[in-house]
């Protein structure tokens, strides 16, 4: 999936479709770790 960083007020964010979040077993408020070339989603193992 390709998504763009979008401006929300004075902040920036990534927007994911609900289907992508469901398939990845993530939800609003879950933590992610960002590195220079990797993104890790923490807290869920299913």
What is the value of pTM for the model shown? 0.54
Report which of 12, 45, 15 is spatially closest to residue 1, judged by C-alpha positions.
15
Amino acid 44: pLDDT = 52
Q: Are 6 and 15 in contact (CB under 8 A)?
A: yes
Domains of the chain with bracketed CATH: 5-41 (2.10.260)
Predicted local confidence at residue 11, as pLDDT: 94
Phi then psi for residue 40, to 5 deg, are -115, 135
Question: Distance between CA atoms of 18 and 33, rounded to whole angstroms?
Answer: 20
Question: Residues near 30 by Cβ (< 8 Å), separated by ≥ 6?
Answer: 41, 42, 43, 44
Q: Does residue 46 have a pLDDT over 60?
A: no
pLDDT digits (tens, 9 = 90+) for 2-45: 778 899 899 998 888 898 888 888 888 888 777 777 776 665 54
Residues facing residue 14 across a β-bridge: 5
């Amino acid at each position: 999936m390709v998504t763009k960083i979008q401006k929300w007020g004075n902040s920036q964010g990534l927007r994911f479709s609900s289907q992508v979040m469901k398939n990845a077993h993530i939800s609003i408020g879950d933590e992610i770790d960002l590195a220079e070339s990797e993104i890790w989603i923490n807290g869920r193992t299913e």
